[in-house]
Amino acid sequence: MEITTVAIVTGASRGLGHALARGLLQPGTQLVTVSRSHDEALAQQAAQAGCNVQQIQSDLANPAAAERLAAQIVANLPAGAQRYLLINNAGTVGPISQTDQLSDAAAITAAFSLNVTSVMLLTTAFLQTVKPLGADCRILNISSGAGRNPTAGWGVYCATKAALDHYTRVLHAEEHGVRIVSLAPGVIDTGMQQTIRSSDVHDFPNVARFTQLHDEGRLTSPDETAARILRYIDRDDFGSNVLDDIRNYA
């Protein structure tokens, strides 16, 4: 079967990443997923959908692992597809703590490695591989409103997402011939939200708001958000707004 789209999705084992991976299971698609575990159900769904899927297990919080992964992925990307897509979705909200208590260097470093460093490494490898192909190439970085609005207790999360946003703007300014967006996906009913709701109020004073959003059913589902994001990626004007929010679109 002719491959028309090559798509790479990180953090694909659960939540939004899992929903995005399932939404990309289409005939003619070569899907590469990155997560810390193998998903047999996804493999079966891919076979039923006539989609090729390669699942790679890696911990992107480890810079050396992320570097090896980047080399592994690009070494196996097929040439000749019409579109190449990289979705940098993997991320963590932790460590959650007030600034005067942020003393765990390993946890802070792991968060930056996952939320920022792995994105940069994968993007570099992706660009080096796809730019010579002359195809439609799109990069979507899953960001957060936290990168654009300071939130008490989220010093690390806000800093990493702000870094991701600005890195995306730099990449756009360099004009590599790819379309790139850093997208806030809204408040989604995922494991990350469970982590947020379980936070100590002294570490995260805004915990009551997120508990209320959940109790009132105001969180969007991963499947609904993924469907909206995949429609957004397909838009002709994708990349015209480098920093965007999926809530701006139906």
Catalytic residues: 157
Cα–Cα distance between 133 and 61 in angstroms, integer? Answer: 30
Cα–Cα distance between 66 and 72 in angstroms, integer? Answer: 10
Tokens found for residue 33:
């997923």
What does the radius of gyration of the chain's CA atoms come to, in whole angstroms?
Answer: 18
The CB-side HSE value for 9 (13 A sphere, CA atoms) comes to 28
**Integer CA distances (angstroms), 218 to 146, 215, 221, in order:** 18, 8, 9
3-class SS letters over 139-174: EEEECCHHHCCCCCCEHHHHHHHHHHHHHHHHHHHC
Cβ 123 vs Cβ 86: under 8 Å = yes
* Helix/strand/coil percent split, the chain, to 5: 45, 20, 35
The per-type count for the chain, helices as H runs and strands as E runs, is 9, 7
